[in-house]
Amino acid sequence: MIETPPFQLIINQIDELIFDETGEHLDDLQYAILEEVLKEKSYKEIAKKKRRSEKYIQGVASKLWKTISEVLGKKVNKKNLKSSLQRYYYTNFSEVVNALNNVKINKGNICFNNPEKEELTEEKKHIEVHLDAIADLIKEGLTAEQIAIVFKLPLEFVQQQIDKV
């Protein structure tokens, strides 16, 4: 069994968010920039590794931060990428958990407590996939602590999700 490194899981989630918004996936250089930034590498180090100029890397990164900012609805840059992702996932996971906690099963039918039976938004459906990912990651052998680190979530929250599985 091949284990996916935590940074790749995070970048795959970002790629999925960007694709949902723009219809385009990250290219190889954008992927590499995200991976190296999450590893706290400088643009100079990334440029050397990718055999590009530092200025070119900065330009690609600037466009990438703009795209991620639009997707997350918050200004994102190299310095706040990790904290922005942490806030995004924590906020959205909490919304889904609250929404799912408002569901009751009645004689085999699912009924929402909301009298308007509001449908889940695309964003909430997307986050449900992330909740499913927690179960998949447990099956792959990751611990609750590792998952909490990958998704930048409180350990207690991840443990609650695991306990529900």
pLDDT band at 14 (very low <50, low <70, confident <90, very high): confident
If you search the block for the tokens 């964003």, which residue do you land on? Answer: 123
Instruction: State mean pLDDT over 80-92.
Output: 77
Final residue before a domain boundary, out of 50, 72, 94: 72
58, 104: one domain:
no
This prediction has a pTM of 0.56
Q: CA 109 from chain center: how many Å?
A: 31
Residue type, 152: K
More confident residue, 7 or 28: 28
What is the spatial distance between Cα 111 and Cα 18, in angstroms, rounded to a whole number? 32
How many distinct structural domains can be found in the chain? Answer: 2
> For residue 1, is it within any domain?
no
Asked if pLDDT for residue 54 goes beyond 70, the answer is yes
> For residue 77, is it within any domain?
no
Asked if pLDDT for residue 107 goes beyond 70, the answer is no
Task: Tell me the pLDDT tens digit for each residue of 119-136.
Answer: 445 545 555 556 667 777
Given the DSSP bridges, would you call strands 109-112 and 103-106 parallel, antiparallel or unpaired?
A: antiparallel
100, 125: one domain:
yes
Final residue before a domain boundary, out of 45, 72, 99: 72
Final residue before a domain boundary, out of 41, 72, 103: 72
Question: In which domain, by residue range, is 158 found?
Answer: 82-164
What is the spatial distance between Cα 36 and Cα 5, in angstroms, rounded to a whole number? 13
If you search the block for the tokens 């004689």, which residue do you land on? Answer: 107
More confident residue, 27 or 11: 27
% of the chain beyond a pLDDT of 70: 67
> For residue 87, is it within any domain?
yes
94, 160: one domain:
yes
More confident residue, 75 or 12: 75
> For residue 26, is it within any domain?
yes
> For residue 58, is it within any domain?
yes
> For residue 114, is it within any domain?
yes
98, 36: one domain:
no
Asked if pLDDT for residue 103 goes beyond 50, the answer is no
92, 22: one domain:
no
91, 66: one domain:
no
107, 58: one domain:
no
Instruction: State mean pLDDT over 80-91.
Output: 78
What is the spatial distance between Cα 46 and Cα 85, in angstroms, rounded to a whole number? 21
Give SS3 for 53: coil
Find all residues with CB under 8 Å of 3, minimum gap 6, and list them.
140, 141
> For residue 121, is it within any domain?
yes
Asked if pLDDT for residue 116 goes beyond 70, the answer is no
98, 157: one domain:
yes
